[in-house]
Amino acid sequence: MTDNTARHAQNQRAQHLLSQMTLDEKLAQIVGFWDKGDGEAVAPLQGEFEGPTTFTAATTRGLGHLTRVYGTRPVDPAERAAWLWNEQRRIVRETRLGIPMLVHEECLTGLSAWQAATFPTPLAWGASFNAPLVQRMGALIGESMRQLGIHQGLAPVLDVVRDPRWGRVEECIAEDPYTVGTIGTAYVQGLQSQGIHATLKHFVGYSASQSGRNFGPVHAGPREIADVLLPPFEMAIRDGGVRSVMHAYTEIDGIPVAANPHYLTDLLRDQWGFDGVVVADYFGVAFLNRLHHTASSLEDAAHQALTAGVDIELPTGDAYLAPLRQGIVEGRIDEALVDRAVLRALTQKAELGLLDETFDEEPPTNITLDSAEHRAVARQLAEESVVLLSNSGVLPLTHTPQRLAVIGPNADRISAMFGCYSFVNHVLSIQEGYDTGIEVPTLHDALATEFPGATISHTPGCGIEDDDTSGFAEATALAGDSDLTVLVLGDQAGLFGRGTVGEGCDRDSLELPGVQRQLAEAVLATGKPVIIVLLTGRPYVVGWALEQAGAVVQAFFPGEEGAAAVTGVLSGRINPSGRLPVSLPRSTGAQPYTYLHPRLGGDSDVTNLSTQPVRPFGFGLSYTTFEHSTPNVAGTTPKDGLTVTVDVTNTGDKTGQEVVHLYARDVIGSVTRPVAQLIGFTRVELHPGQQATVTFTVPPTLLSFTNAAMQRIVEPGEFHLWTGNSAQPARQHTSITLVGEPHTVQSSDALTTTIHTTVHEAELASQL
């Protein structure tokens, strides 16, 4: 049966069910229920809303979604699965229509459940520039979810980083929309290959908030939204076939997205052809009344959201149950709006096979959520995401230091390895009496394993965010008595002010939190060699460290296998190949900054202040060297796209992986154009002397922009192109001039560059 035929049959079945439903049965299918207790605050303003008092009361007429069965508190997965199967059986057997519940969970860095594998944070996915590996990770996460009876995952986040002060930067993939779209689509494809529906977050504009504040208003213009913020979502919908989208909390130009039919219906469905479900971000419908004050009541909020195209209210039915019912019964709201949402909800359940599910089989009992395969992928992703920011020659440590000092607040903390949406930091941080459920070495542990012959001494020196400097004396004494110091600094991910980064943990300053910089300067002042390791969820202002430390290593919350990945880079067991997915800022005052700026968005003679980052997007050092030839480019007219070929040679004496970026600059445009724009990337591993020929086939879509008439076009004219591993213009650039009429981008135009790589021995090999 073809996809279109199957979809038609599923829709027909959903329509038949809909025709049999009472109003209350319909409303039950477009809401969730969340069994949460006091103190379990893992969503914004969670305590402000009250649903049905018992699960049984909430399910008498069926239920659309069951919210976070495994991810609200630590539960034994086998015991919870047994409970879930029993409740699903009850729903099937005891409700009139017997429609099972759809179970959803968070899964941004792995399934957010006790004992489940926890992978690197999305910024690390971006640093890896390895979409196939992220797809493999997504498939493993989906496999775990399917085993537990989960149907939908609330990931990936496709917000493009616009301001590193924003707390949720660590949930994002990159500041570049093409990187976000390519890697995010890979995650969608991996998750959905296991029969789990992915959910794109947060559609759209959330990351462009005023002053980097969570929920802040968005003042982005229509071209910025069209050319920067929307492309990742379009890629995941058109190329990834994603089945669910979550609206953003934010307002754009005064209109909350949850009540904006332009985005949720006109663009998403009518223009892009999305035919899945749109779910509310938690309490997002009620926020139209409680926070945005654009709805006079919860009934009005429900009406606005349904009209705009929000099908499912999550995590509970604060607006879509009693308030919506009253509006329909009293004639203020057309029940057809509910029918539209219910039809989509039931079609989704049909797609997932839920309408045929009886749950008569026994639930799983032998459950492994952190297998050797999970850990192998977590390890590779961590290894490929570690970025070497500076190196005076101290790395790699080919000889074991006799006396090694391990200093810093993140040197021996498990939670320092994980992002905000990891189970460790999202849930266990507010629970007592539970271990992590998974094996997580700290940097201190991993250094002892990596350098078994070293005498290792440790002290934190200071906390993450407090102003206590009483530990400085011990730290400097330890550094002074050692041959080498590894200084581990950075963040603690958390929620709503419980961390230095994460949801609701925004910053005024991009200096390292607390007194960490002062600690570093005190340790550096000892004159002994110092390697700084940053375990963070955002880029910080660390230009001073790049100048003073022997080496600086950046890891964006590298997950359960992250410590060994970092120490492997230090020892040279791993040749670093991670590249910055975000620019490393020069100063807090230079924000917001993006490498996608037009000419006057960077340094120029008409301003006295520099915005130039200390390390550009895509930057990362290696223990070997690579040389790129001048690209060879072919293309004729704006509708043709480009074919670009480049030779990449390992000119060093170590095997390494090069991340090859292809950048373009539209020299003259009818609107201002970025000075650089990534239009393709790939990874290639080369032995000393080996050469790879990389061919990029670039569709016209990636040369396009939204013009003054809000048309997406490719204009004729000159383009500069270069390859490298960062957005910094390369010496080996080339130019091409496209002639002919402007090309209006068509819905049939490809969104992704295709890449072919051939590795062969170079003539250089005989000389090495």
Q: In this structure, are 631 and 577 located in the same domain?
A: no
Across-strand partners of 247?
A: 203
- Shortest CA distance to 511 belongs to which of 611, 519, 122, 410? 519
Whether 149 is in a domain gets the answer yes
Whether 370 is in a domain gets the answer no
Position 654 scores a pLDDT of: 97
Mean pLDDT for 610-623 is 96
Q: Please tell me the distance from the alpha carbon of residue 432 to that of residue 458, in angstroms, as a whole number.
A: 26
Mean pLDDT for 600-623 is 93
Q: Please tell me the distance from the alpha carbon of residue 406 to that of residue 461, in angstroms, as a whole number.
A: 10
Q: Please tell me the distance from the alpha carbon of residue 565 to that of residue 509, in angstroms, as a whole number.
A: 29
**pLDDT for residue 633 is more than 50:** yes
131: containing domain: 3-18+26-37+47-356
**pLDDT for residue 449 is more than 80:** yes
- Shortest CA distance to 416 belongs to which of 515, 514, 559? 559
Q: For strand 705-706 and strand 656-666, is the pairing parallel, antiparallel, or unpaired? A: unpaired
Q: Are 209 and 215 in contact (CB under 8 A)?
A: yes
- 6 vs 613: which has the higher pLDDT: 613
253: tokens are: 């130009």
Q: Give per-residue pLDDT as tens, 540-568.
A: 999 999 999 999 999 999 999 999 999 99
Report percent pLDDT > 90 for the chain.
91
Q: Give per-residue pLDDT as tens, 167-225.
A: 999 999 999 999 999 999 999 999 999 999 999 999 999 999 999 999 999 999 999 99
Q: In this structure, are 596 and 631 located in the same domain?
A: no
Q: For strand 484-490 and strand 530-536, is the pairing parallel, antiparallel, or unpaired? A: parallel
Q: Are 548 and 524 in contact (CB under 8 A)?
A: yes
Q: Please tell me the distance from the alpha carbon of residue 342 to that of residue 30, in angstroms, as a whole number.
A: 6
Q: In this structure, are 632 and 584 located in the same domain?
A: no
446: tokens are: 């991993």
Three-state secondary structure call for residue 759: strand
Q: Are 9 and 330 in contact (CB under 8 A)?
A: no
DSSP for 490-548 reads E--B-STTSSSBSTT---S--SPSTTHHHHHHHHHTT-S-EEEEEEESS----HHHHHH
Whether 363 is in a domain gets the answer no
What are the backbone angles phi and psi of residue 587, rounded to the nearest 5°?
Answer: -160, 160
Helix (H) or strand (E) holding 378: helix 372-385
- Shortest CA distance to 62 belongs to which of 36, 16, 93, 104? 93
75: tokens are: 């539960």
Task: State the total domains in the chain.
Answer: 3
Q: In this structure, are 347 and 397 located in the same domain?
A: no
**pLDDT for residue 90 is more than 90:** yes
Position 605 scores a pLDDT of: 87
Whether 77 is in a domain gets the answer yes
Q: Please tell me the distance from the alpha carbon of residue 545 to that of residue 524, in angstroms, as a whole number.
A: 9
Buried-state track 380-394, b at ≥16 Cβ within 10 A, e below 16: bbbbbbbbbbbbeee
Q: Which of 356, 375, 394 is the last residue of a domain?
A: 356
Position 768 scores a pLDDT of: 43
Three-state secondary structure call for residue 712: strand
- Shortest CA distance to 102 belongs to which of 91, 94, 116? 91
Q: Please tell me the distance from the alpha carbon of residue 282 to that of residue 248, in angstroms, as a whole number.
A: 10
Position 56 scores a pLDDT of: 86
Across-strand partners of 677?
A: 664
- Shortest CA distance to 416 belongs to which of 356, 345, 358, 489? 489
Q: In this structure, are 417 and 270 located in the same domain?
A: no
**pLDDT for residue 39 is more than 80:** no
**pLDDT for residue 754 is more than 70:** yes
Whether 455 is in a domain gets the answer yes
Q: In this structure, are 228 and 266 located in the same domain?
A: yes
Q: Please tell me the distance from the alpha carbon of residue 146 to that of residue 132, in angstroms, as a whole number.
A: 21
Q: Are 494 and 502 in contact (CB under 8 A)?
A: yes
202: tokens are: 């947060």
Residue 258 has what DSSP assignment? G
Query: Where residue 732 falls among pLDDT bands split at 50, 70, 90?
Result: confident
Q: Please tell me the distance from the alpha carbon of residue 280 to that of residue 261, in angstroms, as a whole number.
A: 14
Token look-up 């998974």 returns: 438
The arrangement of strands across the sheet holding 743-744 comes to 705-706, 712-714, 743-744
Helix (H) or strand (E) holding 744: strand 743-744
Mean pLDDT for 292-320 is 98
Q: In this structure, are 194 and 294 located in the same domain?
A: yes
In total, the chain counts a number of residues equal to 768
Q: In this structure, are 424 and 570 located in the same domain?
A: yes
> What sign does the CA torsion over 728, 734, 740, 745 have?
negative
What are the backbone angles phi and psi of residue 742, rounded to the nearest 5°?
Answer: -55, 145
Q: In this structure, are 685 and 589 located in the same domain?
A: no
- 434 vs 49: which has the higher pLDDT: 434
Whether 42 is in a domain gets the answer no
Query: Where residue 761 falls among pLDDT bands split at 50, 70, 90?
Result: confident
Query: Where residue 767 falls among pLDDT bands split at 50, 70, 90?
Result: very low
**pLDDT for residue 338 is more than 90:** yes
**pLDDT for residue 47 is more than 70:** no
**pLDDT for residue 40 is more than 80:** no
Q: In this structure, are 109 and 179 located in the same domain?
A: yes
Position 728 scores a pLDDT of: 86
Q: Give per-residue pLDDT as tens, 254-290.
A: 999 999 999 999 999 999 999 999 999 999 999 999 9
Token look-up 């654009």 returns: 294
Q: Please tell me the distance from the alpha carbon of residue 563 to that of residue 375, in angstroms, as a whole number.
A: 13
Burial class, 398, CB count within 10 angstroms (exposed 0-12 / middle 13-18 / buried 19+)? exposed
Q: Which of 356, 377, 397 is the last residue of a domain?
A: 356
CATH number of the domain where residue 442 is located: 3.40.50.1700
Q: In this structure, are 597 and 632 located in the same domain?
A: no
Q: Are 47 and 41 in contact (CB under 8 A)?
A: yes
Q: Are 499 and 170 in contact (CB under 8 A)?
A: no
State the average pLDDT for the chain. 95
Buried-state track 615-650, b at ≥16 Cβ within 10 A, e below 16: bbbbbbbbbbebebeebebebeebbbbbebbbbbbb
Mean pLDDT for 751-758 is 98
Report percent pLDDT > 70 for the chain.
97
**pLDDT for residue 304 is more than 70:** yes
Position 729 scores a pLDDT of: 79
**pLDDT for residue 111 is more than 50:** yes
Q: In this structure, are 635 and 509 located in the same domain?
A: no
Mean pLDDT for 334-361 is 97
**pLDDT for residue 646 is more than 60:** yes
CATH number of the domain where residue 751 is located: 2.60.40.10
Distance from chain centroid for Cα 571: 29
Token look-up 């890896």 returns: 128
Q: Which of 566, 601, 636 is the last residue of a domain?
A: 601
The arrangement of strands across the sheet holding 677-686 comes to 677-686, 656-666, 717-724, 734-738
Q: Are 24 and 61 in contact (CB under 8 A)?
A: yes
Mean pLDDT for 356-382 is 97
Q: Are 29 and 357 in contact (CB under 8 A)?
A: no
Whether 607 is in a domain gets the answer no
Query: Where residue 3 falls among pLDDT bands split at 50, 70, 90?
Result: confident
Whether 379 is in a domain gets the answer no
Q: Please tell me the distance from the alpha carbon of residue 520 to that of residue 527, in angstroms, as a whole number.
A: 12
- If one counts every other C-beta atom within 10 angstroms of the C-beta of residue 220, the result is 19
| Angle, helices 322-329/298-308, rounded to nearest 10 degrees | 80
Position 766 scores a pLDDT of: 43
Position 733 scores a pLDDT of: 85
